[in-house]
Chains A and B, each alone.
Chain A
Amino acid sequence: MNLDKVLFGFFVLLALTLNVGFVYGDIDTPEHHHVWELFAALVVSLIATVLKFGDRSHLGAVLLASSLVADLHLVAAALVWGLNSQVFAAASEPGVVASVVSLACGALVANLASVILLVVETLTLRR
């Protein structure tokens, strides 16, 4: 067992699970989507990205790309949320919540791609 691999798998998977946790629920109901979960998803996604740095293989490059896509979506979601809550005081509007959640949903797809790639790589590993 390689501790690096454990940490890597842990963060990649955690990024996906937190993301699902945030997105799960009615798309425009504020009560179903907690800001803490978005925060955690963003932080874990950033860490997962950094862990993917410096891998020379083709798979490593694709993993990094998918992680960057997820980061982009989550940062955009956080920006939309932050702007609406601080500047326009409209964070609980169904339209705003829907756009935050749909952005996070995009990140979810990217994280899913990451996990699938990771699983495929693990399966092709010969013992």
Chain B
Amino acid sequence: MEKVLFLFMRRMRRPLVLLISVYAIAIGGLVLIPGQDDQGQVWHYDFFHAFYFFSFVGPTVGFGEIPYALLPQQRFWVSLMLYLTVISWLYTIGKIFGLVSEPAFIRAMQEARFIRAVRRLQEPFHIVCGYGETGSLIVEALSARGARCVVLDNEPARLDDLELANLPLDVPRLCADATNTQVLIEAGMRLEDCLSVIAVTDSDAVNTKIAVTTKLLMPRRVVMCRAESSAAMENMASFDTDHIINPFDVFAEHLGLAIRKPHVNELHRWLGARAGRKLAEPLLPPKGHWLVCGYGRFGRACRRYLEASDVQVTVIERDAESFAKAKDEGLKNRIVGSATDPEPLHEAGVEGAQGIIAGTDSDTDNLSIVLTARAINPRIYTVARQNHRAEGELYRAARLPLVVEPSRIVAWRILPLATIPALSDFLARCRNQEDDWAAELLEELREEMGRRAPAVVSLRVAGADCQGLRHAVGDRAVRIADLAYSPQGETMPLVPLMWGRDGKYTLRPAPAQALQAGDSLLLATSERMAHRLEWLVCHSEHWGSAPGTQTRLRPPQAA
């Protein structure tokens, strides 16, 4: 920025010197040439009148001959100088326009505006690097939940999309290379209000660079990264990246979970959805024999989690090299061939299989695999990986029970981490619970909220003993159930999910549990009630953090 300003001034030297010189010559000449006043006396222009005269002659070509009519010799001089001043003005103005429309200057201005916008946020925000498919989903969802974001991307076209996205909150954005440390600092990485840096570009190398930069400069900043290769994941883990999200791993984990503990998986879907949204049908993938087509990163992750869920897996892979790798990894059931043809599918036993995963990196192949398999075995459960968001229409038309969209999976994983870290922690603990436990909780949620997604609220009790509710409960200690108190006597839906005291966390605490200062709470409730709780938190000095600071509350991760 500074550089461009100096360059601007340096380039303005020549036109300004020209302008000053031309005016000096013009004024000096006019003062020297004798004229006549209205009585015919000899009259010389003084410097003041000469300056006045050329001040209007130069840019506007004049009001007339002021204060007295000029003599021919004066007119000679003025007509000559008139052209000179007009030309030097044109030159100067042209130069200014040229400089202002220069790309470097425009960029510098954008950068300055971006820095100012970030400084002016004055509330907690997230830095999202990469506004591709994942980034746009994250920014949209964060804005809808009232969290501020700052976006970095090096594709101008993507930032144009952001401009047209019609988000409820203003999102400062800069077209720049996020691997550049200076750019990250300009985006506010060092500011106190920066909650996290979310690296979701489509390159593992770029994400790694962002993570390492942030962790070196600000070790306590939360960094969330998308990574697709195991090498990048290990690398990121080596410098304590807080959350590394591999979309294939996450999907495979949930597929395994849906087979093994369908209710636990359902709980993830319920609590992760936006509050008030109508819930989709539950996912119930069958147990038994599954075919995995394509044995790349995705296929490998699926096989690992499926086998962990006691599912028999047969892999179909076209590429001999990947096939050899499958052999090394001790995979017993494997077929070489393209799964888009019926023969390898027959060979793999598609007639008797319960499910098929089309996980190649080609959308056309995946759709073809699924349709071929379904033609042979109409009852087969189909899962297909969707690589490009633009193909969504085709995948919807194929009526698949489960579509794998890596970008959506990453966004879905990052959202609770960014908005309600306690929810991520809760869900991580749920994955270790029995399915019946989750079924009971789901039943309770359904009774309270119906088939709409609940709003999840995380609170910390700050006052000595919840005096904000003292008038409502009388002398006894405030209990969790008292939070549902309403002055109008309505019954508000409230399901306590997790209660923490002194670093110990209890899942599904009893509503009669008494609260004291320092306790943290995670509640599922209706949207209206969530607003009320936030109001209570914000407007009572005895209740703790405002919604923005809730997200700073980070209980230790489940082991």
* Nearest-CB residue, chain A, relative to B48: A82
Bound-state CA distance A36–B31 (Å) is: 10
A54 lies within 8 A of B6 (CB)? yes
Shortest Cβ gap from B70 to chain A (Å): 19
Given A39-B28, A86-B46, answer yes or no on A54-B21 (Cβ-Cβ < 8 Å). no
Q: A42-69 CB contact bits vs B (8 Å, 1 = yes)?
A: 0100110011011110000000000000
Q: B227-256 CB contact bits vs A (8 Å, 1 = yes)?
A: 000000000000000000000000000000
The interface stretch among B10-18, B103-111, B335-343, B400-408 is B10-18
Q: Which residues of A contact B27 (CB under 8 A)?
A: 39
Shortest Cβ gap from A64 to chain B (Å): 9
A16-56 CB contacts (< 8 Å) to partner B: 35-36, 39, 43, 46-47, 50-51, 53-56
Bound-state CA distance A115–B48 (Å) is: 30
A54 lies within 8 A of B13 (CB)? yes
B8 within 8 A of A: yes
Shortest Cβ gap from A100 to chain B (Å): 13
A43 lies within 8 A of B17 (CB)? no
A85 lies within 8 A of B21 (CB)? no
Give the bracket for the number of chain B residues in contact with chain A: 20 to 34
Given A82-B47, A82-B48, A86-B48, answer yes or no on A54-B10 (Cβ-Cβ < 8 Å). yes
* Nearest-CB residue, chain B, relative to A64: B9
Bound-state CA distance A82–B7 (Å) is: 36
Q: B262-288 CB contact bits vs A (8 Å, 1 = yes)?
A: 000000000000000000000000000
For A47, give its contact among B2, B9, B17, B28 (CB under 8 Å).
B17
Shortest Cβ gap from A72 to chain B (Å): 16
Shortest Cβ gap from B23 to chain A (Å): 8
Shortest Cβ gap from B44 to chain A (Å): 11
A53 lies within 8 A of B9 (CB)? yes
B20 lies within 8 A of A47 (CB)? yes
B538 within 8 A of A: no
Measured CB to CB, the residues of B under 8 A from A are: 2-3, 6-13, 16-17, 20-21, 24, 27-28, 46-48
Measured CB to CB, the residues of A under 8 A from B are: 35-36, 39, 43, 46-47, 50-51, 53-56, 78, 82, 85-86
The 5 nearest A-B residue pairs measured at CB: A54-B10, A54-B9, A53-B9, A43-B24, A50-B16
